[in-house]
Copies of this chain bind each other. A is one copy, B any other.
Amino acid sequence: MSNGPIYLDYAATTPPDPRVLHVLQDSLGQTGSFANPSSIHAAGRQSAAMVAIARTQVAELLNTRQERLIWTSGATEANNLAIQGVANAREHRGKHLISMATEHKSVVDTFAALEKRGYKVTWLKPDGSGRLLLDSLSQAIRPETQLVSVMHVNNETGVIQDIHKIGMLCRERDVLFHTDAAQSVGRLAIDLAELPVDLLSLTAHKFYGPQGIGALFVADRPAVQLSPIMFGGGQERRLRPGTLPVHLIVGAGAAARIAADEMHENLSHMTAMRDRLWNGISDLDDLIRNGLPVHCYPGILNVSADGVEGESLMLGMEPVCVASGSACNATSGESSYVLRALGRDDLLAQSAVRFSFGRPTTAAEVDTAIDRYRWSVEHLRGIAPAKTGLLLK
């Protein structure tokens, strides 16, 4: 790995844990079963049994029952199913929805699509630390409000929302509550027996499971009505059709079990890596840490550097792979709407780097990241005009 890329982008996606890899291989090979779990023959029943075990493993990670989970292709689909599903099922009751400006694209764009269909969406802004103020939520809820969707851990900043309090408020006011927990499931303890959450989205590739499989938790309450967004066979309680991908589900189950077992240890490791990195760069001038550390998941460190352009910063960081505050698409030139919602201007948002840490992250990798970050910031500031973006402001 000495000359290869150093991956510090675990918030984007995680490699399958070696133990999950093993399970995936077994599942794809002779001891597994590829048959359609809906088939009534012996091979199908074996697949169904494997799917049931995996469903229980994911349910246990969240302290819920396996029947509450609907397999999807990932969190994007789970978010779409939750939000479109509630909106469509409860359309006759009212067309007001609430979410935040700092949600993931798959939530923001889904609500935006509903806006085009005539729904009213209230977009709440976080305070400067990235958190939702309960008061602003309370004021936004109206009699015709059907759903509040607020993510658990933000994918760019790591900011953790208090989903317990948000959920309590929603229950009091008789509004459904969805949370996109793509960044927190398998990373932070989540107890769905305790949390007043109606719908929760997750995706296995954020906790060392395979890509292409996720789930939506649907609480067992009469109010939680969902319409499917896709139609077909009767799989997944008629909420999500399609042949269940057995090996992916088995892999997700294995990943969930490992995550449950090692959560505490993983969190300590994340904290150590993050603090090491921050200690190594924080003496640079004009850095801004995005997201108030005390409210942040320790696996993510997001830093803006005044006077540095995002794409160049990414190149300077090589071979360290990190995420940028400029859009995924280098040429769109769009800067992070999440960071702008936290009060960063365009240039500061664009200059942001998201470091994110994983189980395999080593101190040596972090040290390389420190070196590369320091070099890049100093190098680019050396090239930049005296007053950054002067012409633009």
Contacts and interface: CB of A to CB of B under 8 A. Distances in A.
Interface of A: 5, 7, 9, 12-16, 21, 24-25, 28-29, 34-36, 38-44, 73-77, 79-80, 104-106, 109-110, 112-113, 203, 205, 210-213, 229-234, 241-248, 311, 314, 317-324, 328-330
Contact of A243 (B28, B74, B110, B241): B74
A242 B182 CA distance: 12
Secondary structure at chain A's binding surface: helix, strand, loop or mixed? Answer: loop
B241 A314 contact: no
Number of copies of chain A assembled together:
2
Given A13-B35, A80-B231, A41 B322 contact: yes
Given A44-B321, A203-B243, 5 more contacts: A5-B42, A9-B41, A12-B39, A13-B35, A211-B248
A26 to B, nearest CB: 11
Contacts of A29: 21
A201 B229 CA distance: 18
Contacts of A24: 28
Given A7-B35, A109-B241, A248-B212, A233 B42 contact: no
A293 to B, nearest CB: 25
Given A35-B9, A231-B113, A211 B106 contact: no
B232 A76 contact: yes
